Amino acid sequence: MTPAKDHNLSSFLEPRGVAVIGSMREPMGEGLTLIRNMLDFGFSGKLYPISRSNTQVLGMKAYSTVNDVSDPIDLACVITPPPTVIPIIKQCGEKRIKAVIVSTEGYAEVGSEGAAQQRQLVETAHRYGIRILGPNTLGVFNSANSLITDPYPIIRNKPLPGGIGYASQTGLLTFGVHPLKDHGYPINKIVDFGNKSDINELDLLPYLADDPSTNVICMHLEDIRDGQGFLDVASKAAAQKPVLLYKPGRSEAGAKAASSHTGSLAGDDQVYDSAFKQAGVVRLRTWQEFWEIPKTLSMQPLPKGNRIAIVTATGGGGVISMDAAAEAGLTAATFSANTVSELNRLSPRLTKNPIDVGPLMSIRQSPFGIYEDVVPVVLRDPQVDCATFICHVSPPIVTVFARLAPEISKIGKPVTVFAYGIDLAEMRESARQLEARGLPVYLDLETAVKALGIAAAYSRVRARLQKQN
């Protein structure tokens, strides 16, 4: 009995009660670590440590099995040796738990024997109406209830709350091994598909599409087993919010490695590429883009077109940004006569795009004030759809952009900031302050521009998909 396709992921992401089944041994038992992570993040639901050897875990009552818990349990997190997993799944079935995250490793990722055990695991679960996330997964994170199911230490890495729904088929692209907090990505939910034995993109895309707190979906997939199903759910999701996809295996060597890693056919990349276009999914190309691009789409409105303006304190940066714009599908905005005349009043040297404010800064009383004069004029130009600001970050520039932020937001066109400087810690702190005011900041020039290119690409997609519906 396979659970119905409309079973959504709320038991996995919004559980009221969570049972944790794994080693509770100090100092690093996986069950214990998972509970510590939950307490550190501040999970708002109820936790039930399951342990045969402890009556108490971190001050909480522990239970021998899930069936000893009298409260209802929505989700069980299992990280125990492989031979114990199926008996535990059966106990979960008897307790009428509908969602189980299996973090245990040693299944399809280690060969055909493991794959057979994995199939058996899923079959057992489905007999009880249980859905499985994993195995070989770090599980999920949800910023709304501070749920975190990672069984390895991730203390101090709780992401900032925001709108991005991330999902990945590799631990490398989830919460386990990236400094999400240090980077300040605005995150709503994260799902690690692990071996993707049961719960997969077909389940998650509709859930995230309908989730009002997720405004961008960003997914890493190594394989897509049901192409038609994917097209269906992806195009529905993409009609509602941006769906960004990072699908490695573009090259022959990459596809071969993917096939060896996930144990499934990786498929021809061109077929994927045209399927993604058809579905309205926008493709990301690199690990860095996966992490850095979504925040702009989450924090900023979509552009109505692809005409970009650059306001820069460095002429050299202006040149580089124009290459980046062209390669991201953006064109340099030509300012309207009105804008040219307003800019000309400030200085005849400010009328061309990119606008190099650098030379003027050095002769002004308040050098950074030039951004306050120029930015609103440029953004209000009907021939400008979006803008990147290039500036040396420092407390005075943060003050200037903090003042500008409400006006930028009112104009309703997306912007990004490329921040340069000589002290990384200071740059990160300034970035954090600007992002708290809704302005996405990049420490890499080309990515700051590309983020707007991806936003414009999605904007075109959405117009097409909404016309079709």
44, 67, 84, 251: residue in contact with its own copies (rule CB under 8 A): 251
Orientation angle between helical segments 369-380 and 337-346, nearest 10 degrees: 170
Residues contacting its own copies: total by CB under 8 A = 73
The structure tokens listed for 12 are: 């996995």
Nearer to its own copies, 153 or 301 (CB): 153
Nearer to its own copies, 257 or 402 (CB): 257
Please tell me whether residue 365 binds its own copies under the rule CB under 8 A: no
182-211 residues in contact with its own copies (CB under 8 A) are: 182-183
Least distance from C-beta 159 to its own copies, angstroms? 11
Residue whose pair of structure tokens reads 């999605």 in the numeric block: 458
Stretch that binds its own copies, among 120-128, 283-291, 298-306, 454-462 (CB under 8 A): 283-291
Tell me how far apart the 2 most distant CA atoms of the chain are, in Å.
Answer: 78
**Cβ proximity of 387 and 379 under 8 Å:** yes
Least distance from C-beta 110 to its own copies, angstroms? 5
252-271 residues in contact with its own copies (CB under 8 A) are: 252-254, 256-258, 260-262
Stretch that binds its own copies, among 36-44, 244-252, 294-302, 374-382 (CB under 8 A): 244-252
Strands across the sheet containing 99-102: 46-50, 17-22, 75-79, 99-102, 131-133
Please tell me whether residue 316 binds its own copies under the rule CB under 8 A: yes
Contacts 24+ apart (CB under 8 A), 313-318: 313/356, 313/357, 313/358, 313/361, 313/390, 313/391, 313/392, 314/356, 314/358, 314/390, 314/420, 315/354, 315/356, 315/358, 317/390, 317/418, 317/420, 317/445, 318/354, 318/355, 318/356, 318/390
What element of type H or E holds 406? helix 395-411
Least distance from C-beta 345 to its own copies, angstroms? 18
Nearer to its own copies, 91 or 388 (CB): 388
Least distance from C-beta 313 to its own copies, angstroms? 9
Q: What are the angstrom distances between the C-alpha of 68 and each of 20, 100, 147, 323?
A: 13, 17, 23, 64
Nearer to its own copies, 206 or 317 (CB): 317
Nearer to its own copies, 3 or 329 (CB): 329
Nearer to its own copies, 267 or 317 (CB): 317
Nearer to its own copies, 74 or 222 (CB): 222
Contacts 24+ apart (CB under 8 A), 59-65: 60/35, 62/24, 63/19, 65/91
Please tell me whether residue 248 binds its own copies under the rule CB under 8 A: yes
Please tell me whether residue 394 binds its own copies under the rule CB under 8 A: no
Please tell me whether residue 105 binds its own copies under the rule CB under 8 A: yes
**CA gap 418, 404 in Å, rounded:** 16
236, 241, 392, 413: residue in contact with its own copies (rule CB under 8 A): 392
Least distance from C-beta 52 to its own copies, angstroms? 23
Report residue 147: phi and psi, to 5°: -70, 130
Nearer to its own copies, 98 or 220 (CB): 220
What element of type H or E holds 220? strand 216-220
The structure tokens listed for 52 are: 């045969």
Nearer to its own copies, 213 or 351 (CB): 351
322-351 residues in contact with its own copies (CB under 8 A) are: 322-327, 331-332, 349
**CA gap 321, 449 in Å, rounded:** 7
**Cβ proximity of 197 and 225 under 8 Å:** no
304, 352, 437, 460: residue in contact with its own copies (rule CB under 8 A): 352
Stretch that binds its own copies, among 32-40, 243-251, 295-303, 378-386 (CB under 8 A): 243-251
Least distance from C-beta 22 to its own copies, angstroms? 14
**CA gap 300, 440 in Å, rounded:** 8
415-454 residues in contact with its own copies (CB under 8 A) are: 420-425, 427-428, 444-446
Orientation angle between helical segments 445-468 and 315-327, nearest 10 degrees: 30
147-186 residues in contact with its own copies (CB under 8 A) are: 154, 156-157, 168-173, 176-183
Residue whose pair of structure tokens reads 């994927």 in the numeric block: 272
Binding mask 368-387 for its own copies (x = CB under 8 A): --------------------
What element of type H or E holds 335? none
Q: What are the angstrom distances between the C-alpha of 14 and each of 94, 140, 408?
A: 21, 10, 35
Least distance from C-beta 87 to its own copies, angstroms? 22
Q: Residue 5, SS3?
A: coil
Nearer to its own copies, 304 or 352 (CB): 352
30-89 residues in contact with its own copies (CB under 8 A) are: none
